[in-house]
């Protein structure tokens, strides 16, 4: 989750906030955009294996100082590496950690580096050996960008709780993890062996990060405490987070499809009672999504829900929460139907991202609809599982009021450019429409579970997702996806009635568009295969009423 949501007028800017152009909106991109969004030669020659991030946080000065050990494998012989770290932070030293010499002592070699905006070019004396395993350690420090409106604007949030205790968190989807730590800041490559996260804070504070807490250590002289966290699974950069505050902890064990899942909850001390009540929805959400999507993808790293000084984000195995312990979205219903008040929006939406964003990750940010479309769709699947299919349908149809159709859902590739904010609820309604065409809920569930099995812990493209759904559904959806993902045109089903005859066709479509549509003729359900050529249906009696099933995301016009 990154954008603001629509609630009557207060949050009506959500879907358009911060969005940039697409196919029909020419944009001017900078070299920095290309360096950030492209798999450059200086990125492609090395395969990321592991990060070991160690950071000390200084709340009084809003400063950080740390290091990152980057382990990687050499895919192609090269000697210039791209590392991303956004201004005003600075790299102070880079060391190549080489194999031990004859005495058994590890060899260290200082590396030279130069800066170009938010990119550092690190130079090795010579090309590294093909297929070799290598490590470098990057030291850095400075005052990171402060988020003025988290999580909509990325950075570090420096706040205080109701008792005046520091309450600090990172949130950096979109703007990038390199806003607070040095890394390969592109979605295509994740650390195969996970990440270690060592966070040092003043002794009266607690840090909660991703994965499992291995241990803590005290430095009495410095009056600090270090928390050592370990993530075993691959993780996207923006999923790595810090949460610092006066936390208390409670837990439960969820019995899921892969066995026992440790669920840990970290909240501010004075919110403990409310959290124990509201967070019961966490296990409910895991249950619903394991039904629809398959096993929770990160059993090895546990599951956490962590209170944050902003609305919430999908940080892998460390989901952040700030919905004021209310159902709906800050107490309001995004669908306008009343159904959205049956569940806590942030718990359901952000936990849904564990499957779509954290396990299945878009390879290029232009395909962000994969994250947000499927996860917005998961909201009505939660309703379907715990309440009823009818209420789920009502909810997802209600969210159409937030769709602006300002730009296509897919952004421009290789320049770190997202598509339209419609990726949320237009994306959800696209998937809901496909479910109608599949017309077999168990088959549709197996398609969703299959996506999570076959693309488990992978970075994917829109094309891969499209082809998978086409293959498994047996539907001809090529033009359908072009229509809904790559244009802003919504198909218009036009029809006219002459006694017993119904004439119908689609307008406002891409070439080759055609889908089966469920309709009701004189109140009786039937299916019509409609395309851009006018077709005729002959009823057995005079047609007195005709309507299209509302679960299809279409417009209609009677001629």
Work out how many domains the chain is built from and give that number: 1
Q: How far, in Å, are 146, 219, 249, 403, 475 from residue 351 at the CA level?
A: 26, 35, 19, 23, 30
Per the structure block, which two tokens stand in for 523? 């109140």
pLDDT of residue 107: 85
Q: What is the model's pLDDT at position 50?
A: 98
- Name the DSSP letter for residue 74: E
Query: How much is the pLDDT for 12?
Result: 32
Residue numbers of the domain that contains 535: 492-558
529: β partners:
516
- Between strands 247-256 and 259-268, the pairing is antiparallel
Question: Are residues 110 and 71 in contact, defined by beta-carbon separation less than 8 angstroms?
Answer: no
- How far does CA 211 lie from the centroid of its chain? 17
**d(Cα 334, Cα 353) in Å, to the nearest integer?**
18
Beta bridge partners of 142: 64
* Contact criterion met (CB below 8 Å) for 462 and 410: yes
Nearest to 54 by CA among 78, 38, 70: 70
End-to-end CA distance of the chain: 41
Q: Is residue 502 part of a domain?
A: yes
Per DSSP, the residues of 451-484 read: HHHHTTTEEE-HHHHHHHHHHHH----HHHHHHH
Q: Is 498 exposed, middle or buried (0-12, 13-18, 19+ CB in 10 A)?
A: exposed
What stretches of 333-392 adopt beta strand conformation (E)? 360-362
Residue 104 pLDDT: 67
- Burial-class residue 517 by CB neighbours within 10 Å (0-12, 13-18, 19+): buried
Q: What residues contact 262, with CB distance under 8 A and at least 6 apart? A: 212, 251, 253, 302, 303
Beta strands at 63-74 and 312-313: parallel, antiparallel or unpaired: unpaired
- CA torsion angle 462 468 474 475 (round to 10): -10
DSSP state of 390: H
Domain assignment present for 499: yes
Pairing verdict, β 155-160 and 224-231: unpaired
Domain assignment present for residue 59? The answer is no
Instruction: Please name the residue that has the structure tokens 């200082």.
Output: 110
Positions of E strands within 111-241: 112-116, 119-123, 133-142, 155-160, 166-171, 195-202, 206-208, 212-219, 224-231
pLDDT at 228: 98
What is the pLDDT at residue 21? 28
Please, where are the H alpha helices in 203-268?
none
For 31-50, write each residue's pLDDT tens digit: 999 999 999 999 999 999 99
Identify whether 16 is part of a domain: no
Residue 372: predicted pLDDT: 98
Q: Which residues is 143 bridged to in the sheet?
A: none
CATH number of 530's domain: 2.60.40.1910
Take residue 16 and report the two structure tokens written for it: 């358009």
- In a domain, residue 523? The reply is yes
| 389 backbone dihedrals φ, ψ, rounded to 5° | -65, -35
* Cβ atoms within 10 Å, residue 153: 18
Does 232 fall in a domain?
no
DSSP secondary structure letters along 419-463: --GGGTHHHHHHHHHHHHHH--HHHHHHHHHHHHHHTTTEEE-HH
Cα gap 174→1, rounded to integer Å: 10
Enter the DSSP assignment of 309.
Answer: S
Does any domain span residue 369?
Answer: no
Is residue 182 included in any domain, yes or no?
no
Query: What per-residue confidence (pLDDT) applies to 110?
Result: 97
Tell me the torsion sign for CA atoms 285, 291, 293, 299.
positive
Q: Over the chain (559 residues), what is each successive 10-residue block's mean pLDDT?
A: 40 32 59 97 98 98 98 97 98 91 77 98 97 98 96 95 98 95 98 98 98 97 97 97 98 98 98 98 98 98 98 98 98 98 98 98 98 98 98 98 97 96 98 98 98 98 98 98 98 97 97 97 97 96 96 96
pTM: 0.94
309 within 8 A of 224, measured Cβ to Cβ: no
């Amino acid at each position: 989750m990154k954008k603001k949501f629509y609630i009557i007028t207060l949050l009506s800017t959500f879907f358009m906030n911060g969005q940039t152009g697409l196919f029909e909106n020419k944009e001017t991109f900078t070299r920095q955009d290309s360096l950030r969004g492209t798999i450059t030669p200086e990125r492609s020659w090395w395969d990321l294996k592991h990060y070991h991030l160690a950071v000390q946080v200084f709340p009084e000065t809003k400063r950080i100082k740390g290091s990152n050990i980057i382990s990687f494998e050499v895919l192609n012989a090269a000697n210039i590496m791209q590392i991303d770290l956004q201004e005003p932070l600075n790299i102070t030293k880079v060391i190549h950690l080489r194999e031990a010499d004859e005495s058994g002592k590890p060899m260290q070699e200082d590396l030279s580096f130069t800066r170009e905006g938010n990119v550092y070019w690190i130079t090795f004396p010579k090309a590294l050996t093909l297929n070799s395993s290598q490590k470098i350690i990057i030291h850095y420090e400075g005052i990171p960008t402060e988020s003025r409106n988290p999580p909509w604007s990325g950075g570090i949030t420096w706040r205080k709780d109701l008792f005046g205790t520091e309450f600090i968190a990172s949130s950096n989807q979109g703007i990038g993890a390199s806003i607070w730590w040095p890394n390969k800041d592109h979605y295509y490559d994740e650390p195969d062996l996970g990440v270690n996260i060592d966070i040092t804070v003043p002794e009266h504070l607690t840090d909660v990060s991703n994965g499992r807490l291995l241990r803590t250590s005290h430095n009495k002289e410095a009056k600090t405490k270090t928390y050592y966290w370990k993530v075993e699974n691959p993780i996207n950069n923006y999923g790595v987070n810090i949460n610092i505050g006066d936390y208390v902890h409670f837990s439960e064990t969820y019995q899921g499809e892969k066995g026992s899942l440790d669920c840990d909850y970290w909240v501010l001390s004075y919110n403990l009672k409310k959290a124990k009540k509201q967070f019961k929805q966490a296990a409910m959400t895991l249950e619903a999504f394991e039904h629809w999507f398959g096993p929770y993808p990160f059993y090895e790293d546990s599951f956490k829900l962590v209170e944050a000084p902003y609305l919430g984000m999908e940080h892998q195995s460390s989901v952040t929460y700030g919905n004021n312990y209310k159902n709906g979205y800050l107490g309001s219903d995004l669908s306008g139907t009343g159904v959205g008040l049956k569940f806590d929006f942030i718990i359901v939406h952000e936990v849904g991202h564990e499957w779509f964003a954290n396990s299945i990750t878009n390879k290029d940010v232009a395909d962000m609809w994969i994250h947000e479309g499927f996860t917005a769709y998961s909201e009505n699947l939660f309703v379907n599982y715990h309440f009823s299919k009818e209420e789920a349908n009502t909810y997802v149809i209600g969210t159409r009021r937030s769709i602006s159709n300002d730009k296509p859902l897919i952004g421009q590739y290789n320049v770190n450019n997202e598509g339209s904010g419609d990726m949320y609820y237009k994306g959800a309604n696209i998937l809901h429409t496909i479910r109608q065409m599949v017309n077999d809920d168990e088959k549709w569930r197996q398609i969703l579970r299959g996506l999570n099995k076959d693309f488990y812990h992978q970075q994917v493209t829109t094309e891969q997702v499209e082809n998978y759904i086409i293959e498994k559904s047996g539907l001809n959806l090529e033009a359908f996806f072009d229509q809904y993902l790559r244009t802003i045109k919504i198909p218009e089903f036009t029809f006219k009635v002459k006694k017993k005859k119904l004439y119908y066709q689609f307008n406002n479509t891409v070439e080759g568009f055609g889908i089966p549509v469920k309709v009701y003729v004189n109140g009786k359900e039937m299916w019509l295969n409609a395309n851009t050529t006018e077709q005729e249906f002959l009823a057995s009696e005079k047609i007195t009423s005709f309507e299209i099933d509302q679960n299809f995301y279409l417009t209609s016009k009677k001629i």
